[in-house]
Amino acid sequence: MRQVYTLCSAVIVMWSTVIHYTVAVCECGRSRSYLDGSDRRVVNGQESRPHEYPWMALIVRYDSRRVHQPICGGSVINNYYILTAGHCVLSHVKVQDLGVVLGVHDSLLLDYGKARIYTIAKIIIHPLYGEGFVGSFLYIENDVALFRLHKEIIFDYYVRPLCLPKQDKDFYHWSAIVTGWGQKARVGPSARYLKEAIVKVLSYRECIASAAGVAYEKVSSQTLCAADVGIDSCKGDSGGPLMVKVPGHFMIQIGIVSFGVGCAIPGYPGVYSKVSKHVDWIHRMTTNAKYCKKPAYRHEHRSNVSRRNVLNDCDNVH
């Protein structure tokens, strides 16, 4: 059985509002908006609020001068492991040439503010990973990888894990959020600041009815498609999470940015590795790590007070 952290409590007091609930550093899927009691909406393709998604990981490659170059995204899933896409690391097989940055919003300032840089102890690529073509369309099978970090991740307000789904759970027709530092278009620079966008999760029939359906059908059992008009993940977003918000106000990762045809081209939805098809494998590979508990719904009591903001420091409990 996987170990689960003990929860710790805090009270956050905001302007004209008191929100009483357990701020569980060892709960997964809690966004910044939940923790500070604010209401916000995602504006498609726009910069996210700093630290809104505290599980976001920026994977970087170092050149011979140790200058970093962002290559992919990923997500914190427990106190030692990062979940990402297998194709992100196949061409970068030397562990010492890669790094993981957590608590980062600005991809150009990795040594600034709350950002933490981690070295990687081990890379685990799904054993059935594979690439192929159907006609001119590229597809990727079992596009999943894990990074085991050298140092334990200490959770706080700025770095927290994302929840994983149940095995084989489907989320067809849900609105989902995709985040990353990728390009805004097929040609152009990567984003400096973390971006967020809303896409719709398509059903199997909608996926294979699209223009590249023949390629999607090849990997349909392990992937899901998501898109919206003019909205898509793009190059550089690979490995990042596709997430849904569930009742109880926490987020679950349902996909990993994998492949697609261009970026936001009508009729060509983005393709994501389906996390619920791989979650058993993920747990088997990470038995030496500690997972945080999924939150339970909590009633919020509100009353008028003067402006204060209190967030207790909570340490990991082993």
Question: Do the strands 3-4 and 290-291 form a parallel or antiparallel pair, or are they unpaired?
Answer: parallel
**By the 8 A CB rule, do 182 and 236 touch?**
yes
Decide if 81 contacts 92 (C-beta within 8 A): no
CA angle 186, 51, 272 (to 5 degrees): 40
CA–CA separation, 170 vs 182, rounded Å? 26
Active site residues: 87, 143, 238
Tokens of residue 86, six digits:
């297998």
What distance in Å separates the CA atoms of residue 235 and residue 261, rounded to the nearest whole number? 11
> Which DSSP string do the residues of 189-230 spell out, in sequence order?
PBPSB-EEEEEEEPPHHHHHTSTTHHHHHHTTTTEEEEEBTT
Taken in order 70, 262, 242, 134, the sign of the CA dihedral is: negative
Q: What is the C-alpha to C-alpha distance for residues 161 and 53, in angstroms, rounded to an integer?
A: 9
Q: Give which of 238, 113, 224 is closest to 174, Cα–Cα.
A: 224
Distance from chain centroid for Cα 125 = 17
Token output for 168: 């084989």
- The neighbour count for residue 306, using CB atoms within 10 Å, is 7
Of 94, 28, 21, 73, nearest to 196 (Cα)? 73
Contact 269, 210 (CB under 8 A): yes
Direct distance between the N- and C-terminal alpha carbons of the chain, in angstroms, rounded to an integer:
15
3-state secondary structure of 284: helix
